[in-house]
Amino acid sequence: MFKPYGCVSQFRPKPRKNKNLLGDFYSFPEDTMAIGRLDLDSEGLLLLTTDGMVSYKVRDKSVEKEYYVQVDGIITDEAIKKMKNGLEIVLKGDKYMTLPCKARKIEGEPTLPSRGRNIRKSKHGPTSWASITVCEGKFRQVRKMTAAAGFPTLRLVRVRIGNIHLGNLLPGEVITLDNLDEALTC
């Protein structure tokens, strides 16, 4: 599924929350669960399953997750190098050193659907894009990594999990995959 911006990666509402949920976009089987959730402000590829073992496999550190990240400012080679080597972020009040990852600048703007809401006006300064591929998935990790490198995230889109790519999916669209085990290997 292409999880849209502003959608919660869950199926049941919490009391007093009036947010879009995954079930608002498609009629999923009753026991469907999101694998590797995306927060409210993030968008992109979200795998859904009714099989707990598939969920376990996707969360394994051997499966890469790639994100396109629009950041505040023109990202530098130094910031990319910091993220590649691993850097210190804060998780639940504790310092955490991220594992080394793949990171690179993206020249221009990647081909993605519009978010439906402006990121910000150009008078507030330039923005740039980077690709960050991690094998771990800590809470808001990629956002914290870009901020720790000096470039806060403005937009975050997951574009790949293993060999499964977002492709031409549009926000809210769902497709069914066969043979997920082969698609997860990198």
Q: What is the pLDDT of residue 119?
A: 72
Range of the domain at 80: 2-184
Domain CATH for 161 = 3.30.2350.10
Tokens describing residue 40 = 């409210």
Q: What's the rounded Cα separation, in Å, for the pair 142 and 83?
A: 9
Q: Classify residue 116 as exposed, middle or buried by CB count within 10 Å of its CB (0-12, 13-18, 19+).
A: exposed
> Which pLDDT belongs to residue 131?
98
Query: Does residue 39 carry a catalytic annotation?
Result: yes
Mean residue pLDDT of the chain comes to 88
Residue 162: both structure tokens together = 């293993």
Output the CA–CA distances (angstroms, integers) from residue 11 to 19, 42, 46, 75, 174, in the order listed.
11, 17, 13, 36, 15
Q: Please tell me which residue in 39, 51, 60, 181 is annotated as part of the active site.
A: 39
How far CA 90 is from CA of 36, 125, 144, 145, in Å, comes to: 19, 27, 8, 10
Q: List Cα–Cα distances, 4 to 43, 106, 108, 114, in angstroms.
A: 5, 22, 22, 10
pLDDT of residue 58: 81
Kindly state the percentage of the chain with pLDDT values over 70: 89
Please identify every stretch of the chain with a pLDDT value under 50, giving residue numbers as ranges: none
The model's pLDDT over 64-96, given as tens digits with 9 standing for 90+, comes to 999 999 999 999 999 999 999 999 999 989 999
| Whole-prediction pTM | 0.91
Provide the total of helices (H) and of strands (E) in the chain, helices listed first.
4, 13
Question: Structural domain tally of the chain?
Answer: 1
Q: Which two tokens mark 115?
A: 């978010």
CA distance linking residue 35 with residue 16, whole number of Å: 25
Interatomic CA distance for residues 46 and 149, integer angstroms: 26
